[in-house]
Structures are given as C-alpha cells and as structure tokens.
Amino acid sequence: MAKANKIRREIMINGSKRWVTGNSEQEYAENLDAQKAFREKFGIKEGEKFVMGVGFPFERKGIQDFFEVARSFPDVKFIWFGALQKILTNHKVKVWVKNRPANAIMAGYCKGDLIHGAYQQATCLFFPSLEETEGIVVLEALASHCPLVVRNIGVYEPWLKDGVNAHIEKNNEGFIKTIDSLLKNGEDKAILDEGYKVVEARTLEIVGGKLKEAYESLLK
C-alpha cells in the first residue's frame, strides 16, 4: 500500500496527470504554421525576442513579479497568457494589471497553435509562481524546448535542477539576471535537451506503466 501511494503521489506532484489525460510530447513538436499564427496574432517579428508567462492572473502565480521584472526590459515584450473573469479577480491583481508596464501584454486565454507557437519561439517561459501542485505549464515548456525560468519552490524537487534542465531563482534580482543572459546569449542546447528528458520520462506509456504497477500492488 505504501509503495502504491508513493507512486501515485509522485505522478500527481510531478505533473504527469496532464499527460495521462491525453497530451503527449508529440503535441508540442516544432510547428512552423503555429509559429506563424502566433507572430501574426501578436505582431511579433520573426526572430524577435520576447518572454512569456502562463496561468490564471492570480497573486500566487507571481504576476506582480512578472510585471516588475518586465520593467527592467522596456524594449522586450513580456506576454502573459491566461485570463480570469473580473468578478473572480481580486483588487490587488486588478491594480497590478492596470498599472503594468507598457511592454507587458495581457494576451488572454490562448490555446492550440497560438500557445504552441508562443512556447516554440519565446526567449523563455518565465513562471514566477509562488505555489504549485503540478506545474503543468512547466512540462509544456520543456516539451517545446522552451528555456525555463522558475521560482525556487518545493514542487519542482527533485526533477528540475538549476543549470541542468532549467533556471531556478529565489527573487526578482535573480530572475532579471537570468533573463538578461538568455536575451543576450540564448539557451545552452544541453539544458534544453535535459529538459526534454523530463518530458520523455512522463510519456503516456511510462506513466501508464507506473499506474499499472500501483494498482497491481494494491491487489497483492
């Protein structure tokens, strides 16, 4: 029983639930049509550098820090994907959105080619969330070979490693330093390849096998 619970817990914490319910790494393979659709929708020039964020505009998603870091790069677009009905948005978030810097774009909810095209061309996914249960968008970025910048929170242990498959920082100072480096120098291919291995370890077949093992252990 303990072993089965451990396996199920690992599956949930590591974000594999998303892949079990129908997505696979093939969905995020390079798609030139998706990239073009994204650029045309948001007026991004081919090769233009931009930073993306994804999630409901909640305080715990770190949207305030997303805006504050964007202020340090006034010539770079910071695009936040995700929307929430105004009635569900608290006052603080409304103020932050209203007072965001001019280079911070609220894209609203996007899916399909638009979000895939964004992942495949972004300088990085900047995901400063303060608390996560699964980190699904992290897996989506890794599957898209999109450089990843996240906050140092426990849910990413031990599968994300700073400087190995992602960039993990504690505060805005660290975020700014890392994003500045990515904008100037790009990402090390070895880091992208290591990030993709995280996704490969969570394919439908592998996760299905873990679930099978968990359920079989319950019957013993």
Residue 19 shares a structural domain with residue 35 = no
Report the range out of 89-93, 188-192, 206-210 with the highest average pLDDT: 188-192
Residue 122 shares a structural domain with residue 157 = yes
Range of the domain at 115: 25-197
Residue 5 shares a structural domain with residue 97 = no
- The 8-class DSSP code of residue 41 comes to H
The answer to whether 120 touches 92, Cβ cutoff 8 Å, is no
Residue 7 shares a structural domain with residue 57 = no
- Rounded-to-integer distance, Cα 79 and Cα 50, Å: 7
pLDDT the model gives residue 72 = 98
Q: What are the pLDDT digits (tens) for 96-138?
A: 989 999 999 999 888 888 999 999 999 999 999 998 877 789 9
Residue 9 shares a structural domain with residue 53 = no
Band (84; pLDDT cuts 50, 70, 90): confident
pLDDT the model gives residue 199 = 86
Residue 5 shares a structural domain with residue 60 = no
Residue 72 shares a structural domain with residue 85 = yes
The answer to whether 167 touches 183, Cβ cutoff 8 Å, is no
Residue 63 shares a structural domain with residue 162 = yes
**What is the number of domains present in the chain?**
2
Pairing of strands 77-81, 148-151: unpaired
Residue 72 shares a structural domain with residue 140 = yes
Residue 122 shares a structural domain with residue 19 = no
Check whether 216 has a pLDDT greater than 80. no
What is the pTM for the complete model shown?
A: 0.81
pLDDT the model gives residue 111 = 86
CATH number for the domain spanning 55: value is 3.40.50.2000
Residue 178 shares a structural domain with residue 207 = no
Q: Break the chain down into helix, strand, coil percent, rounded to 5.
A: 50, 15, 35
Residue 137 shares a structural domain with residue 156 = yes
Q: Judge if the upstream peptide bond of residue 74 is cis by omega within 30 degrees of 0.
A: no
pLDDT the model gives residue 14 = 45
Q: What are the pLDDT digits (tens) for 143-161?
A: 999 999 999 998 898 889 9
